Amino acid sequence: MDHVISVGMVDVDGFRIPLGTATNFLVDPGVGVGQSAIIHQLTDDELLAKGATPEEALDRVFGRLAGRILLAHHAAIEVGFLAAAVKRLYGITIEIPVVDTLGLGHRALGFGEDHPRDALRLWKLRVRAGLPSYKGHDAVVDALACAELYLALAQELDLTTLGQAIRLS
Amino acid sequence: MSELAEITQFLAAREPWSLLSPGQISAFAQRAVGQYVRRGTVVLAAGAAPTAMYVVRSGAIEIVDADGNLVDHDEQGACFGQSSIIEERPSRFTFTAIEDSLLWGFSPETVRELVATPEIRRYFTEARLADATRHVPDGGPVLQVPVADMVTRAPVTITADATVGQAAAVMDENRISAILVTEGDALVGILTDRDLRRVVAHDVSPSSPLVEAMSRDPFRISHDALALDVLLSLVQHKIHHLPVMDGDALVGMVTSGDLMRLERSSPLYVVGDLARQDDVAGLARVMARVPKLVGRLLRQDATAEDISRIVSRTTEALWQRLLDMAQAELGAPPVPYCWVALGSLARNEQALASDQDHALILADDALPEHDAYFSAMAEYVTAALVECGFPRCKGEAMATNPQWRKPLAAWQREFSTWLSAPTSEAVLNSSIFFDMRPIHGDHTLFTALQQRVLRTAPQSSRFLGHLAKHANDAEVPIGFLRGFVVEKKGEHRDRLDIKLGGINPIVDVARIYALRWGLPQVSTRGRLLAAAEHGAEVGNLLDAHEFLGYTRLQHQGSQVARGEAPHNYIDPETLSEFDRRHLRDAFSIVAKAQSALTVAFQTQFIS
């Protein structure tokens, strides 16, 4: 089973991204993280030393989400992690409303048409929107990348309200 | 760990942020607000108060002044809006996204904190001063030039005890139109061409004293006056020469010609400058100014027709100078010749990014052994043109090709063959060789050829039919639902060739009209107007030609402004909705004219 070992978040207010809201923290899942740690250049020791407990992590995420909608690329992953963690820790099933940039991107490219397999990936869609490529690969860069893509897609699809974004994604 | 490493690194690599410590940069980065603007969005309009300073993270911003002149482009990393915030005044420029752009906005309070650092304040102020000077259009306020800068040589003087003849000899030797007369160190008079005219008219002896012929105590101007003062003095006193003084010391002379020459990018000046060059390198330097000249003419709202005429005229002057230089090197030609331009230069329709097309018509008494001379001439001119930025013609339609360097009679036979037995090669050649104009040498050779062709062409219905069919082959780049058809791959992907798909078909139609009715005009506009007198419907076509030509020049002008090599490929997405609509209209006019030709010449029955 995969574990969440780092969380990156940034706010989107309307169609603006206050960069100061960008946050990044590590999570200690309580088990050795093995291979995936290498990818993220994190070690068990680091996670042990600095990582939040899963409970703390959930509190921080839901604290930020209060009054907001979750925005993610291929949001099923995030929603799955969050719902599973809530279920595990508190034994309840929750619904998390989301805006998914993958869905918006698919709509912008045209639903009916054939697209190359990777056309809907975050980085590919960003290139099409003229957004810069980022060198770093950590959770907060991914969050920022997704937020910027959302601004671009909102323009492309003439979105004016969040409700539209939820319906169309 | 810094949450914003990506942003901090981007800023740290650029001025003015690099003047701050990493900690400070990181703190400012926290206060940025990301925004995404579509191409075409006005981010800050001239006259509006900016609500933020923006850093261009990706994309590009076009800066236009209140009169609509393109001032500059801001690319990745540039800042804008800060000057108005610092000085608490409305923006002088309009900033428009010309690509989809990601911007980072900083609030006015943040900007004020930023410029509390003296180095940053200095950076923004100096950048603005550099802007202010950069925004002076080429040759800009020329009348603000100090007189001292206009003086190009030490004054040529002669003492007051000389004779009229001696003064005239010194003027002739120095190729000047006026000479200053001195007594000791003091300026006492001036003798000009006009005074000498009077001397000759009244039959005054050259040995008479200079002081009797000169104007005493001439008007003079201080070396720290401005060109504007020179202009006013010259006009007021109805004179053409002004001695320039530093106190009592004579430092030079300025003339009405110097004033005109100040206008450095004026087309007259470029043509005049070409005539003064003695080597190819000098000519290439002068020709390098032409793209900027086009930009200036576009800003002055000249028509495409006028601009291409000026560009063509400049190229023509270059060719003429090169042929003079070739002749100086090779000696007098063994027989008369006429050097002719083909294609766009012949039609006076040159834009930027042209190659060279030319041919040589020799007098009929040319002998085979004379060819070495003309071959050398052609090689000389062609190589020099390459150096001046005109690539060789890919189809080898150049005088270096022996096929296109021959006596008049051979040319006449060539054209007769094309007209009477049209092959696809003949039709192809016709698009180049039927647009011909004499540039240098004996123009009667050209006239003789042209008259013969214009007499024969209207009767050559099979040839005209082939021509009409060929004109119809050119595909206008609009498709179903009037969408643009753009290149699918390669270097120019997603762009369309405005010349191949739009301008050339109109040129082809005009040429067919000219040949059908034996019209002597060579320019497309001239041909269409003349064809109208024979009943052709040309109104829309004239408009479409001007619009497509203008769009192309504008595209090339902005390419030059961005430091790119100009070409004919346009991305329709970069045009405004208004221009895109016009472009579609222009293309459909071209397509209609093509099908009208089909009907007129019954092309469907040929081959």
* A91 at B interface, C-beta within 8 A: no
Where are the extended beta strands (E) located within B363-452? 405-407, 436-441
Question: What total of structural domains would you count in chain B?
Answer: 4
For residue A19, which residues of chain B lie inside 8 Å, CB to CB?
4, 7, 29-34, 104
Size of interface A-B (CB pairs under 8 A): 68
| A19 to B104: CB separation less than 8 angstroms, yes or no | yes
User: Do the chains contact at B100 and A132, CB–CB below 8 Å?
Assistant: no
Residues of chain B contacting residue A133, judged by C-beta atoms under 8 Å apart = none
What pLDDT score does A35 carry? 53
Report the pLDDT value the prediction gives residue B130, as an integer from 0 to 100. 46
Report, as ranges of residue numbers, the positions in chain A whose pLDDT lies below 70.
1-2, 31-49, 136
What is the pLDDT at residue A2? 67
For residue B239, the domain's CATH number is 3.10.580.10
Residues B76 and B19 in one domain: yes
The letter for the amino acid at A130 is G
Residue B262, in any domain of the structure: no
Residue B511 pLDDT: 93
Residue type, B43: V
Tell me, yes or no, whether B261 lies in a domain: no
What average pLDDT does the segment B165-178 reach? 91
Give residue-wise pLDDT tens across range B19-33: 898 899 999 999 999
- B231/B277 same-domain check: no
Q: For residue B142, is it within any domain? A: no
The reply to whether A41 touches chain B by the CB within 8 Å rule is no
CB pairs under 8 A, 24+ apart, for B554-558? B554/B298, B555/B498, B556/B291, B556/B294, B556/B351, B556/B352, B556/B353, B557/B291, B557/B294, B557/B295, B557/B298, B558/B70
Between the ranges B105-114, B115-124, B134-143, B350-359, where is the mean pLDDT highest?
B105-114
Looking at residue A12, what is its pLDDT? 95
Q: Domain span at residue B455?
A: 267-459
Answer with the residue of higher pLDDT: B476 or A87. A87
Please check whether residue B96 lies inside any domain of the structure: yes
Q: B99 to chain A: which residues are within 8 Å by CB?
A: 130
- Asked if the model's pLDDT at residue B529 lies above 90, the reply is yes
Which percentage of chain B shows pLDDT scores above 90? 42
The answer to whether residues B346 and B245 belong to one domain is: no
pLDDT at residue B566, as a whole number: 85
Instruction: Name which of A16, A19, A130 is nearest B99 (Cβ-Cβ).
Output: A130
| Residue B138 binned pLDDT confidence (cut-offs 50, 70, 90) | very low
**What residues of A are in contact with residue B6 (Cβ under 8 Å)?**
134-136, 141, 144
Considering only residues B169 and B470, tell me which one the structure prediction assigns the higher pLDDT.
B169
Kindly state whether residues B127 and B186 are assigned to the same domain.
Answer: no
Whether residue B447 sits in one domain with residue B353: yes
- pLDDT computed for residue B428 by the predictor: 78
Contact A22 B102 (CB under 8 A): no
Highest mean pLDDT (candidates B113-122, B130-139, B377-386): B377-386
Give the helix ranges, DSSP H, for chain A. Answer: 35-39, 44-50, 54-65, 76-90, 101-109, 122-128, 139-156, 162-168
Distance, CA of B53 to chain centre: 36
Residue B476 sits in the same domain as residue B451? no
pLDDT value, residue B605: 44
* Residue B132 pLDDT greater than 70, yes or no: no
Q: How confident is the model at residue B233, as a pLDDT? A: 83
DSSP result, B268-326:
HHHHHHHHH--SHHHHHHHHTTHHHHHHHHHHTT--HHHHHHHHHHHHHHHHHHHHHHH
CB contact under 8 A, B4 and A22: yes
> What's the mean pLDDT in B7-36?
90
Would an 8 Å CB–CB cutoff place A148 in contact with chain B? yes
- Give the HSE-up count for residue B107: Cα atoms under 13 Å, Cβ half-sphere: 7
What is the per-residue pLDDT for B137? 38
Say yes or no: B392 and B496 in one domain: no
* Same-domain pairing of B252 and B275: no
pTM to 2 decimals? Answer: 0.49
pLDDT at B131 over 60: no
Q: How many residues does chain A have?
A: 169
- Domain CATH number, residue B336: 3.30.460.10
Q: Looking at the structure, do residues B198 and B222 belong to the same domain, yes or no?
A: yes
Q: Is residue B593 part of a domain?
A: yes
Query: CA of A100 to nearest chain B CA: how many angstroms apart?
Result: 18
CB contact under 8 Å between A19 and B34, yes or no, is yes
pLDDT of residue B133: 36
What pLDDT score was predicted for residue A36? 52
On whether residue B203 sits in a domain, the answer given is: yes
Q: How confident is the model at residue B141 (pLDDT cuts 50, 70, 90)?
A: very low
Are B158 and B167 spatial neighbours (Cβ–Cβ below 8 Å)?
yes
User: Which residues are paired to B342 by β-bridges?
Assistant: B436
- The whole-number pLDDT of residue B493 equals 80
Is the distance from CB of B570 to CB of B356 less than 8 angstroms?
no
Judge whether residue B463 has pLDDT over 80: yes
pLDDT at site B1: 41
Q: B396 and B275, same structural domain?
A: yes
What gap in Å lies between CA A80 and CA B578, rounded to an integer?
A: 48
Any chain B CB within 8 A of the CB of A52? no
Task: Share the mean pLDDT of chain B.
Answer: 85
pLDDT tens per residue, range B214-226: 999 999 999 888 8
Q: Which residues of B touch A141 (CB under 8 A)?
A: 6
Q: Is the pLDDT of residue B457 over 70?
A: yes
From chain A, the residues in CB contact with B12 under 8 A are none
Q: Which residue among A16, A147, A152 sits closest to B100, beta carbon to beta carbon?
A: A152
pLDDT interval class at B440 (50, 70, 90): very high
Tell me, yes or no, whether B227 and B375 share the same domain: no
- The predicted model gives B557-574 an average pLDDT of 85
pLDDT of residue A47: 62
Taking only the tens place, the pLDDT of each residue in B243-262 is: 999 988 999 999 887 876 66
Q: Which among B7, B262, B398, B254 has a CA at the least distance from the CA of A21?
A: B7
End-of-domain residue from the set B82, B114, B135: B135
Check whether residue B528 and residue B494 sit in a common domain. yes
Residue B429 maps to a domain: yes
Give the tokens for residue B380: 């000389």
Of B83, B107, B135, which closes a domain?
Answer: B135
Asked if A164 has any chain B CB less than 8 Å from its own CB, the reply is no
Give the end of a domain, one of B433, B459, B485: B459
**Does any domain span residue B291?**
yes
Q: Which residues pair with B360 in a beta bridge?
A: B339, B405
CA distance B78 to chain A (A): 15
